[in-house]
Structure 1
């Protein structure tokens, strides 16, 4: 018995110790647009391979994910358009969330049409359909150009999918710009469905009016024209973010700042990852090329993120300390 008891306790220690040592995974938002999903995987790989911290992803709409972030039910939104939604603004004011860094210089969003709608495309036999279209204020007289097949008396505006913050803003912009009598507010079921509709129309040389943003492969793949909107007004912007505001005011969207959104609890627990996230910067041309590769090849974001890190070591090595960088490099070199 004198020998058995120590052996038993020694065996139990071997079983229990690893369970206690295993860190809980960091919950990332599972973002359903291309740049968001790619940036998520870039960050996850570095966190997992460089800092030895496991991660996973949880799905949801933009609004539900921001709500979950404020509650620390998820810890990271890899591409947060900080300051856009009332949910984020409220949570940030309450000290529940933080926006870290400036991921992509030159990011933008707005309303777009293919260039051939305005200028034509002789190589494709396309004549100009809206030669004087410059601004959202010109849209009423071109409603027939963008005719909605389900409501022929109106034009069709392709909005974001329901559940995206931008979907609320664009719906309010239609009201603020006085377009509800001339344009239908069409919402796709997903980001992929929005892409498919826009791409299909462009490939067929058809007119299409749509909301979009950058960084994305679409803006690098086709010649597009962004329509002018009224100058940015912060007070007017507030009315656009309020879905129930009956009298939204016209304004373009604010300058785009893409941050890594984190919960405040996460920031306290993982200061080393906060420092890492603050350093992340992605050149928009390189990012758009990677997004185009992912989109055209129908490749998983994890695979494209891995290849991106292999191709740009000088970029991501500047984000992290040398010992972390060496661990990431070793992991990338392992088949």
Structure 2
């Protein structure tokens, strides 16, 4: 009787007996990353706990202090403000998406055409401010980011750099709820101004070029620590932008996992996996759209991650084999 040989994958599981904790942001557009990385780690034998949802600054502190091991949704250079802190003990490792995450400001297409809105400077015009003032304070209302998010800090920088404090009121409530209100206003025919990023469900609900348009910043103005990235703040072929190329004013970001340094040192297989793995923007966008349409439970996210992994099994097995080889 012939016995089938035992494969390397069956005999070597670098994660046996090791628990992993994953932090995820309080914005659900990045939760699919947690689900994918959790399943990849499980295939390496790690015992992965359910992801813990935290405010973004808290997530970074938790990973640095070792309370959590991994944060898969780091945005760089946007999140440099967190990792550049003295004593920070976690490292961006690998890329979920390299040079693929856009950010910027959008206006409903009808208002952009009616008022000839091209840049944020146009909100200094009284008639534009009045049209976008939904709460009667004399300022144009803009759906922005909650306090402490990297984008909230950047928006505040832009408000000062372009002298917009007397023109625009950034709304800093919970992003998903604020965007739901913004979409409702759009559906009622009201002018809207908002910040968003990609991948994100907002660009499925409000399609650039059809419902809304990306507008430009008056110039590229970046915080000192991002000044060297100025060339990446003007992007070619941005669908639905008012100009070509499009001066978004935000450097194109990398999405990167951030892992605790001691955890990485103790688990070289995880380090290699993070360096090898990536997730296509198209999949993240499609998953975000499905989540927006009701497929948003923990079970849905696990299923969506599993289906993507199985559809790309050959590539992913290569990542896993490389990770296992790190502990040979």
Structure 2 unaligned segments of length 5 or more: list them: 1-14, 228-247, 323-328
Q: Which structure 1 residue ranges, 4+ long, deviate > 6 Å from structure 2?
A: 322-325
Equivalent position to 2:300, from 299, 303, 306: 303
Q: Which residue does the alignment assign to 2:146?
A: 161
Q: Which residue does the alignment assign to 2:159?
A: 174
Preserved CA contact (<8 Å) 1:66 1:87: no
For residue 202 of structure 2, give the secondary structure of its aligned residue in structure 1.
helix
Q: Which residue does the alignment assign to 1:333?
A: none
Residue 24 of structure 1, CA deviation: 5.0
Residue 116 of structure 1, CA deviation: 2.7
Taking structure 2 as the reference length, the TM-score comes to: 0.76
Q: Which residue does the alignment assign to 2:224?
A: 235
Equivalent position to 2:118, from 134, 145, 153: 134
Q: Which residue does the alignment assign to 1:124?
A: none
For residue 63 of structure 1, give the secondary structure of its aligned residue in structure 2.
helix
Preserved CA contact (<8 Å) 1:70 1:263: yes
After TM superposition, list the pairs within 5 Å mapping 1:49-64 onto structure 2. 49-64=43-58
In structure 2, distance between residues paired with 1:268 and 1:134: 49
Moved more, 296-305 or 62-71: 296-305
In structure 2, distance between residues paired with 1:45 and 1:134: 44
Q: Which residue does the alignment assign to 2:89?
A: 96
Q: Which residue does the alignment assign to 2:59?
A: 65
Residue 28 of structure 1, CA deviation: 1.0
Judged with a 3 Å threshold, the aligned counterparts in structure 2 of structure 1 residues 139 and 323 are, in CA distance, closer, same or farther, namely: closer
Equivalent position to 2:34, from 40, 44, 52: 40
Preserved CA contact (<8 Å) 2:69 2:263: yes
Q: Which residue does the alignment assign to 1:16?
A: none
Structure 1 unaligned segments of length 5 or more: list them: 1-20, 120-127, 239-250, 326-335
Q: Which residue does the alignment assign to 2:9?
A: none
For residue 103 of structure 2, give the secondary structure of its aligned residue in structure 1.
strand
For residue 190 of structure 2, give the secondary structure of its aligned residue in structure 1.
coil
Residue 80 of structure 1, CA deviation: 0.3
In structure 2, distance between residues paired with 1:323 and 1:186: 43
Which structure's CA Rg is the greater one? Answer: 1
Q: Which residue does the alignment assign to 1:149?
A: 135
Q: Which residue does the alignment assign to 2:180?
A: 196
Q: Which residue does the alignment assign to 2:71?
A: 77
Taking structure 1 as the reference length, the TM-score comes to: 0.74
Residue 31 of structure 1, CA deviation: 1.7
For residue 312 of structure 2, give the secondary structure of its aligned residue in structure 1.
helix
In structure 1, distance between residues paired with 2:89 and 2:69: 11
Deviation track 1:21-71 (CA, whole Å, cap 9, x = no partner) reads 983531211322222111111111221244333223333211121122221
Q: How many residues align?
A: 280
Judged with a 3 Å threshold, the aligned counterparts in structure 2 of structure 1 residues 185 and 234 are, in CA distance, closer, same or farther, namely: closer
After TM superposition, list the pairs within 5 Å mapping 1:226-305 onto structure 2. 226-229=214-217, 230-231=219-220, 233=222, 235=224, 237=226, 252-305=249-302
Residue 221 of structure 1, CA deviation: 3.4
For residue 48 of structure 1, give the secondary structure of its aligned residue in structure 2.
helix
For residue 17 of structure 2, give the secondary structure of its aligned residue in structure 1.
coil
In structure 2, distance between residues paired with 1:164 and 1:81: 11
In structure 1, distance between residues paired with 2:55 and 2:286: 26
Judged with a 3 Å threshold, the aligned counterparts in structure 2 of structure 1 residues 195 and 175 are, in CA distance, closer, same or farther, namely: same
In structure 2, distance between residues paired with 1:322 and 1:169: 35
Give the alignment's Cα RMSD to 1 decimal.
2.7
For residue 257 of structure 1, give the secondary structure of its aligned residue in structure 2.
strand
In structure 2, distance between residues paired with 1:232 and 1:63: 24
Preserved CA contact (<8 Å) 1:143 1:154: yes
Preserved CA contact (<8 Å) 2:39 2:306: no
